[in-house]
Structure 1
Amino acid sequence: MSVPAAVSASLPDVALQAPALARPLDWVGMDGIAVPIRVADGQGGQVQVAAQADISVNLAREGERGIHMSRLYLRLQQELARHEITPGGLRRFLQESIESQSGLATRARLRLRYEALLLRGALRSDNAGWKSYPVEIEAILADGHLKLVLGFRLEYSSTCPCSAALSRQANAARLLADFDGVPTLTVDEVAAWLASDRGMAATPHAQRSEARVRVELRPQFDELPLVALIDALETSLGTPVQTAVKREDEQAFAELNAANLMFCEDAARRVASVLSSDPRVERYEATVSHFESLHPHDAVATVTGAGPAA
């Protein structure tokens, strides 16, 4: 049985039907869309990475049943892979997303999640390796104002100051015990003892640690300062987790840990000192977690604040 031409030529659109319980909606859209995006590679260029995107708009007209969801999806697929992600580019994308709804929406929101890969040189050797940093970007355009939030995580090492002090005391006590009654010691004899197995009575505990950072960026800067913020925070913490490691690099890492003993409170203050002085930061929230090797629980500190006065 054939279908009449008039029927087959017109596809039904139930979205045109009036809603049963009419009211506007805060956000309508899609989560978890696979999409390629272009981001800075930390070397002065760009790289394309796989991302997950959430895109939504408000439904401002209470009498309309739904938004034009496919328009958002197609625009997302077509636009994000073409240009590097910047504040200006995100503003244009969100404004075009609002306009694609033909008057149904007045604001738009985009969230992007991806892994930033940055090439990191070894501490002393001529080697290098790639390190991954989870990143989340949230951009909201409402009434012409762009709110842009950049979130990321970085790993570092933390050596406990209390454990270090106790270890030094134990080492000193063994030195006194081993050389009790010896009238004089030369520098070479002490150095040889320190380099022997007897020269380490105790070692301080250290653990891999993590800083989770979220910053709201000021709108006058047309860049996402991801690499700059990561570099500044890793410098301030002093003990970023390494990639390529030879023996000379491992020794350098041990020296950095000894020079940067810190509780989670100390790490949180170091993070805050960087974020509170960056002119691109409007507000920030940071949580540091030290995944304790001494305890079966973690030591955690959170700090919030604002960037410098504009």
Structure 2
Amino acid sequence: MTLEDVQGRPDTRGIALDEAGVAGLRYPVTLADRDGAKQESVGQVTMSVAVPAEVKGTHMSRFVEILHEHATDISIATMPMVLDAVCQRLGAEQARLQIRATYFRERFAPVSQARSLMGYDAVWSAAADGTSTLLALEVQVPVTSVCPCSKAISDYGAHNQRGHITIRVQQADDVSPLWIEDLVDIAENSASAPVYPLLKRPDERHVTMQAYDNPVFVEDMARNVATQLRDDPRVAAFHVHASNDESIHDHAAFASITWPRASTLGHAGWEKR
């Protein structure tokens, strides 16, 4: 019995669709790290293609088939291969792929060297339009900050807080790939001190004093990150958002920067090159 390909029917309304695909697809993925190792995680996946005006729809099941074939090696370096498969299998000129997952990194406490795993919310994104492929990487990094003003005006102590630095970068063409670890290192170097999942008493003493000796405003953190990214040849564009959950105020403080300012990069991400 031959079943009709309904999605392949022609459409006469003359309206092309920017995107059609699947979203909220949870799937086991294997994430590659900077050192060549791999780790298992669960990704939340969005995949789509542009649909020409004369075509009724796309074949949704093929997205899952392609993801299944490539889910065992996800990194910024492998995303173009997945997009190529999407374009070929669905006969599309434009395609997009986004994978959100928790990325774990082994951390060593600064004094005791106690080992533990730290989880980071990360996003791998790719978009192809038939002539170029845009690759982007995003990670949210928890950090500690000490207020410079509080330290300067207080007889003793200073208020500190936990914050988050979110970095989204567009990968430059024809250079070595960016890795989650690279962005985590940049974020932590831009704050007063890193955050650790496991600290013994000597570690807590070390981190507390490290933060006190390196006070930064939220504006400082955003600028510190931007300075490092701007000088990295692997980075074509970036957006940085730093925020602090203030410990003595009933609000959060934030600062953000997008670079280059004259590009088509928007605050929510990149829509076009």
Matched, 1:271 2:225: yes
Percent sequence identity is 30
The answer for the alignment partner of 1:29 in structure 2 is: 21
Corresponding position of 1:90? 79
Opposite residue 236 of structure 2, the aligned amino acid is E
Report how far residue 222 of structure 1 moved.
4.7
Identify if the C-alpha distance between structure 1 residues 148 and 56 changes in structure 2 by more than 3 Å, giving closer, same or farther. Answer: same
* TM-score relative to the length of structure 2: 0.89
1:64 aligns with 55
- Asked if structure 2 preserves the Cα contact closer than 8 Å seen for 1:118 and 1:130, the reply is yes
Q: Aligned equivalents of 1:86 and 1:18: distance in 2? A: 36
Mean CA deviation greater in 37-46 or 212-221: 37-46
Residue in structure 2 matched with residue 40 of structure 1 by the alignment: 32
Q: Return the letter of the residue paired with 2:37.
A: G
Q: Distance in 2 between matches of 1:79 and 1:268?
A: 35
Distance 2:213 2:188 in 1: 14
Distance 1:146 1:18, change over 3 A: closer
C-alpha contact (below 8 Å) 1:42/1:118 kept by paired residues: no
Q: Which structure would you say has the larger Rg?
A: 1
Change (3 A) 1:142 1:222: farther
Q: Partners in 2 of 1:52 and 1:133 — Cα distance?
A: 14
Structure 1 residue runs without a partner (length 5+): 1-8, 171-201
CA distance in 1, matches of 2:43, 2:253: 31
Q: In the alignment, which residue of structure 2 is the partner of 1:53?
A: 45
Pairing partner for 2:68 from 73, 77, 82:
77
Aligned AA (2:29)? I
* Corresponding residue number in structure 1 for 2:172: 218
- Rounded to whole Å, the distance in 2 between the matches of 1:63 and 1:93 is 25
> How many angstroms apart in 2 are the aligned matches of 1:249 and 1:54?
40
The gaps in structure 2 that reach 5 residues or longer are 261-273
Amino acid at match of 2:79: L
Alpha-carbon distance in 1 for matches of 2:8, 2:227:
54
Match of 2:106 among 108, 115, 119: 119
Instruction: Specify which structure has the higher proportion of helix.
Output: 1
What TM-score results when the alignment is normalised by the length of structure 1? 0.79
1:106 and 1:41 mapped to 2: Cα distance? 30
**Aligned-residue offset at 1:20:** 5.7
Pair 1:97–1:16, CA change in 2 (3 A): closer
